[in-house]
Amino acid sequence: MEKIRVCIVDDEAPAREELKFLLQKDFPQVSVEGEFDNSGDAFDFLENNDCDLLFLDIEMPEETGIEFAKRLSDELEDVPYIIFATAYNQFAIDAFELDAVDYLLKPIRIERLKKAMAKMEERIKQAPALKGSEGSFQISDLLEQLKNKEQKRSRITITQGDKLIPLDIQNILFATAEDKSTFIYTPQGKYPFNGTLTELEEMIAHDDFFRSHKSFLINVSHIENINIWFNGSYQIKLRGSSQVIPVSRKRSKLFKDKLNIK
């Protein structure tokens, strides 16, 4: 198989370096042709160079990743396949439901990246790129589908013994991994979840939820107060819960961005 030509567009250097490292380490079929911290330089490159796959951050200053994707589809004859990356999951959708684009939540997990790359390789085998107006239609329509699906996702159903219990997503305070099991906490009680915390995070796919720590997924709309902890980390108190929830140092910058902490 020919090399998959990849470009990375992200305004944060650490995010670009992390993704480039993962691609070069685990995907020998990939050639990173360019990396850019802004959409203007990326557009200039794509106008004059071939690219099969574009990793595109959504939250960028001046022009968002979504706006840039729409501009590419309007102005380029050959639009590369796009995998969006973001710290927030308001655009999240199960990978198998997508056609021309995919979505990765930061920090990017290698297992999820492998799934996305396998899907992109299959698409590239079928067709080298999205073309002209067809690409514009697919990108804009799929992005609209992402928004609509996220808005409609309001509950999940869990199994407890011989009962099925619907849970309102907004009623969830937090979820945690305990002794190789996952539990969901609401004001009404504690419920087991048949899956990993990561699987729950992807199932919920809602902007109010944030992975504060490898063992905690929290609903930020229930935050009562935040305590500054050592080494740039935080501790969270949620309304309706006595649990003190950590924000790891690794996740603290994303947490500050999400809550607009200056």
If asked whether residues 123 and 187 sit together in one domain, one would say: no
If asked whether residues 28 and 143 sit together in one domain, one would say: yes
Whether 184 and 222 have beta carbons less than 8 Å apart is answered as no
pLDDT attached to residue 205: 73
pLDDT mean over 195-206: 84
Whether 103 and 92 have beta carbons less than 8 Å apart is answered as yes
At 61-114, the pLDDT tens digits run 888 887 888 888 778 878 888 888 877 655 444 333 334 457 787 888 898 899
Instruction: For 19, list phi and psi in degrees, rounded to 5.
Output: -65, -45
Domain encompassing residue 58: 4-152
CATH number at residue 75: 3.40.50.2300
Is it the case that residue 42 has pLDDT exceeding 60?
yes
Helices (H), the chain: 13-26, 39-48, 65-75, 110-126, 132-152, 197-204, 252-259
Instruction: List, in sequence order, every residue forming a beta bridge with 189; answer none if it has no partner.
Output: 186
pLDDT attached to residue 184: 96
pLDDT mean over 156-179: 88
Q: What does DSSP say about strands 101-105 and 81-86: parallel, antiparallel, or unpaired? A: parallel
Look at the chain and report how many structural domains it folds into.
Answer: 2
In the block, residue with structure tokens 């949620």:
238
Instruction: Verify cis geometry, omega within 30 degrees of 0, for the bond prior to 61.
Output: no
If asked whether residues 146 and 173 sit together in one domain, one would say: no
If asked whether residues 144 and 15 sit together in one domain, one would say: yes
The residue out of 152, 187, 216 marking a domain boundary is 152
If asked whether residues 42 and 16 sit together in one domain, one would say: yes
Distance separating alpha carbons of residues 225 and 202, to the nearest angstrom: 26
If asked whether residues 130 and 185 sit together in one domain, one would say: no
If asked whether residues 41 and 148 sit together in one domain, one would say: yes
If asked whether residues 96 and 191 sit together in one domain, one would say: no
Distance separating alpha carbons of residues 202 and 196, to the nearest angstrom: 10
Query: Alpha carbon of 182 to those of 4, 29, 191, 197, 198: distances in Å?
Result: 38, 36, 9, 6, 10
Mean pLDDT of the chain: 81
Helix, strand counts (H, E) of the chain = 7, 17
Query: Alpha carbon of 35 to those of 82, 140, 246: distances in Å?
Result: 14, 24, 34
If asked whether residues 85 and 18 sit together in one domain, one would say: yes
If asked whether residues 237 and 121 sit together in one domain, one would say: no
Q: What does DSSP say about strands 163-168 and 155-160: parallel, antiparallel, or unpaired? A: antiparallel
The residue out of 108, 131, 152 marking a domain boundary is 152
Q: How much of the chain, in percent, has pLDDT values that exceed 90?
A: 37
The residue out of 152, 187, 211 marking a domain boundary is 152
Q: What does DSSP say about strands 244-247 and 81-86: parallel, antiparallel, or unpaired? A: unpaired
If asked whether residues 147 and 104 sit together in one domain, one would say: yes
Q: For residue 4, what are the contacts with CB-CB under 8 A and spacing of at least 6? A: 27, 29, 30, 31, 52, 53, 120, 121, 124
Whether 107 and 126 have beta carbons less than 8 Å apart is answered as no
CATH number at residue 213: 2.40.50.1020
b or e along 203-215 (b: 16 or more beta carbons within 10 Å of the residue's beta carbon)? ebbbebbbbbbee
If asked whether residues 34 and 138 sit together in one domain, one would say: yes
pLDDT attached to residue 119: 81
At 125-161, the pLDDT tens digits run 765 544 433 444 355 555 555 555 444 457 888 887 7
Most confident region among 54-63, 123-132, 176-185 by mean pLDDT:
176-185
At 17-29, the pLDDT tens digits run 999 999 999 999 9
pLDDT mean over 220-231: 89
Q: Is 139 exposed, middle or buried (0-12, 13-18, 19+ CB in 10 A)?
A: buried
